[in-house]
Structure 1
């Protein structure tokens, strides 16, 4: 372990793995009949348990069996080590509550993908696809974007959602940066704001716009209505410019 100290400045995870392996090796040696001289040069040997009949003989069949069991346990516990208890549980549950929790935990710093197996509530068409999470709407609903259809969908278990998920889980993607800008369009054309959008990434518009224009009443019921008519104009909710 002392020899491996320089690894701290190279990669702390490698040093931690070396330290765990070194310590576990010594601890496992204490369960053999010969034990281990843990405080060398003191000749006393450390063993556990104290009675010989409960300890393993070196190179015995019992020792080989324990070795195989430890390898199997290590392989079985690999997902737990990689994902953590919470994420592994969420993957196993695969419901909207766990997905909303993951999106809230990751969404400010990472892109979050949502894998959904469900159906459209309006048309009852089946859905088995991956979307990008846009924002959380409630404990039971998310707004997600589909790159294939260039549409926003509300996914969740309440009756206002477009897609009802039988199974749903979140997957953490790469790092991202979110930029929020506020625009006051008083005496200014909406098109001026739309022309300012970045050339890369996704841009969504939310807010109220006073206008005499009306929107097309024939909207796809399977899609989330990102633009709604109000008494004073239009209400934008994660809308995109065409």
Structure 2
């Protein structure tokens, strides 16, 4: 096949591999795919890469022949193992996609490829020689057009980073599948969910796209909305009912945590800590504490008697507790930030006096 056909087929193969692997493509990796598509023709002095590396090309063509060793399954396996060991996943995927696509394209020509080298048998696709392509003839031109069309389809699918399973889940719109996909990759990426559904209390339509704050119970999600956090599930036990949900992966992130475990801490100090962490990324509170007279703020703050349970609450929740102290605190401050950022150093918790009994505190205020 002509070199442009090999290069285009390599790009389409790379994009298809990105869809399957749930790996968003990059221009740098696409360039590596082009390199992978050119390397097998190192065994031909007439090829572009053969002109560049003449001595190596002369040696390979003289002792092994064209479309033999460098086009073989054995060399592809060895190159793939070495690439995935030494290179980042995306670059290894691109290199192998280009290399393998070259051999498969040459199988569609009349000469075929010694794919099982060192055996001399030639592999061809299809078996009937009347349907194989000739160099620069109508068959190759038709194949070129088909690969362009396939590439146009694969590009937006690959950029979603969802993978074949994620695309199927999105098509089905099943929230349980969305939750499993989120649980598998949470902490590594920002996520949003496109949802069609209703408000369980008012029956109004809530269809739209919302950022995901975190999981809610066994099969739901907590969403960031203009009205505040809302729980989403496939039933009536939450704020919003989901008739169709589709998860979208956003920017890569790193998730770091800071533990706050103490018998007593003022809300003011806890707010200071969250504000310092907010300079690095988005902060969420998870865990438990005790205080009396607190109103629940579901789904991020549940209250049972004097027990508080925080579930992916933002620091803004602390504004409702100003002037108070929290007892028996066991909180995790989760920070979602850029992969190259680091958290500021945390000072020890400041000692505070004995807690005023909650009953007395209400009278004093």
SS at match of 1:119: strand
Q: Cα distance, 1:229 vs. partner?
A: 4.5
Offset from partner CA, 1:57-107 (integer Å, 9 cap, x none) = 444434433332233233334455553212222222222112211221121
> Matches of 1:96 and 1:74 in 2, distance apart?
30
User: Equivalent residue for 1:32?
Assistant: 109
Partner residue of 1:121 out of 187, 195, 200: 200
1:32–1:56: 8 Å Cα contact kept in structure 2?
A: yes
Distance 1:189 1:164, change over 3 A: same
Partner residue, 1:208 = 289
- Tell me, in whole angstroms, the C-alpha distance in 2 between the residues paired with 1:170 and 1:87: 8
Give how far 1:179 is off: 1.4
The answer to whether structure 1 residue 90 and structure 2 residue 169 are counterparts is: yes
Q: Distance in 1 between matches of 2:151 and 2:304?
A: 59
User: For residues 235 and 80 of structure 1, do their structure 2 counterparts lie closer, same or farther at Cα, with a shift above 3 Å needed?
Assistant: same
- Alignment partner, residue 131 of structure 1: 210
Relative to 1, partners in 2 of residues 1:176 and 1:69: Cα closer, same or farther, differing over 3 Å? same
1:163 Cα shift? 0.8
Q: Are 1:178 and 2:266 an aligned pair?
A: no
1:16 deviation in Å?
5.6
Change (3 A) 1:86 1:235: same
Structure 2 unmatched runs, 5+: 1-38, 43-48, 54-78, 320-365
Write out aligned runs for 1:1-242 (5 A): 1=39, 13=90, 17=94, 20-21=97-98, 23-33=100-110, 35=111, 46=122, 48=124, 49=126, 51-79=128-156, 81-82=158-159, 83=161, 84-146=163-225, 148-149=226-227, 151-174=228-251, 175-186=253-264, 188-199=265-276, 200=278, 201-204=282-285, 206-211=287-292, 213-215=293-295, 224-231=298-305, 233-238=306-311, 239=313, 240-242=317-319
Is the Cα contact below 8 Å between 2:179 and 2:221 reproduced in 1? Answer: yes
- Aligned equivalents of 1:45 and 1:106: distance in 2? 45
8 Å CA contact 1:103, 1:133 repeated in 2: no
8 Å Cα contact 2:113-2:123 kept in structure 1: no
CA shift in 2, pair 1:128/1:60, >3 Å: same
- Alpha-carbon distance, 1:22 to partner: 5.0
State the shift of 1:15 in Å: 7.1
| Distance in 1 of aligned mates of 2:154 and 2:257 | 39
Deviation at 1:45, TM superposition (A): 9.8
Question: Secondary structure, in 3 states, of the residue corresponding to 1:127?
Answer: coil
Answer 1 or 2: which has greater helix percent: 2
Deviation (angstroms), 1:161: 0.8
Determine the C-alpha separation between the residues in 2 that align with 1:31 and 1:52: 9
RMSD of aligned alpha carbons: 3.6
Runs (5+) with no aligned partner, structure 1: none
Per-residue CA shift, 1:120-144, capped at 9, x if unaligned?
A: 1101121133333232233421122
CA distance in 2, matches of 1:132, 1:143: 9
- In the superposition, the TM-score normalised over structure 2's length comes to 0.51
CA 1:159–1:66 in 2, change beyond 3 Å: closer, same or farther? same
CA drift of 1:11 comes to: 7.8
